[in-house]
Amino acid sequence: MGLDKNGIAQRIAQELQNGFYVNLGIGIPTLVANYIPIGIDVEFQSENGMLGMGPFPFEGEESADLINAGKQTITALPGAVFFDSATSFAMIRGQHVHLTVLGAMEVSDQGDIANWKIPGYMVKGMGGAMDLVASAKNIIVAMMHTNKKGESKLLRQCTLPLTGTKCVTKVVTDLAVLEITPKGFLLLERAPGVSVEQIKNATEGRLIIEGDVPEMKL
């Protein structure tokens, strides 16, 4: 039932537009790079200081001087450029990056996001997430619709410490594509084989259903 992580990434890849500079977070968002539609040219920004990030290097060609924001060894594509951290976040805060895709633990129906801290657990830090969500114009959250206990991650109000407020534009989950509107989560598409009823049951926040909700095309 519903999409797997690759399916979520594949659906998000349909949001890419020609000429976009894109920042992908760690986890499901990283997989989006595997599904760039044919005929669409985009460039990936890594906030540790690079544009034009390519795939993992071939064995033996990896370098400590060439990593992504997840600290994984990567490669540079032709046209790539390196820069320092302050310049990198100037690109982010200055809204030069067109699309940010990141994971989340919770999203509220007003577009608040919580993805960095769970009280009672070791806190590792927010990294660049707060800067990204505070400034980006177009933020898509990639996540599962419910947590491991089966509880909804699409809420009326976030319960975990926030990363940013009123910032998420869209959520793509294993069950649905939803847009954040002033009245709540507007259901845009259903995952293949998933009913509106199932999405309703898995969504705690306000859900808006207008007419027939189409199935995603993957």
Partner 1 sequence: MALNKVVANAEEAIRGIEDNMTVMFGGFGLSGIPENSIVALRKNGAKGLTCISNNAGVDGFGLGVLLETRQVKKMISSYVGENEEFERQMLSGELEVDLIPQGTLAERCRAAGAGIPAFYTPAGYGTEVALGKEVRWFNGKPHLLEQAFDASFAFVKAWKGDTAGNLVYKGTSRNFNHAMSMAGKVTVAEVEELVEVGELDPNEIHTPGIFIQRIYKGERFEKRIEQRTVRKKEA
Binding site for partner 1 (CB under 8 A): 46-50, 55-74, 76, 82-86, 88-89, 92-93, 112, 122-131, 134-135, 161-165
71 vs 149, beta carbon nearer partner 1:
71
Match 């996540």 to its residue by tokens.
143
* Tokens coding 19: 């000429």
CB of 166 to partner 1, least distance (A): 8
At 174, phi and psi to the nearest 5?
Answer: -65, -20
Quick one: 14 or 70, whose CB is closer to partner 1?
70
CA distance 180 to 169: 5
**Of 68 and 146, which has the nearer Cβ to partner 1?**
68
DSSP SS3 for 201 = helix
**Strand bridging mode 43-46 / 50-54:** antiparallel
- Least distance from partner 1 to the Cβ atom of residue 197, Å: 34
Q: How many CA atoms lie within 13 A of 182 on its CB side?
A: 0
CA distances 102 to 9, 23, 89, 93, Å, are 11, 8, 16, 16
Known catalytic residues are 47
Closest CB 35 distance from partner 1, rounded Å: 17
2 or 29, CB closer to partner 1? 29
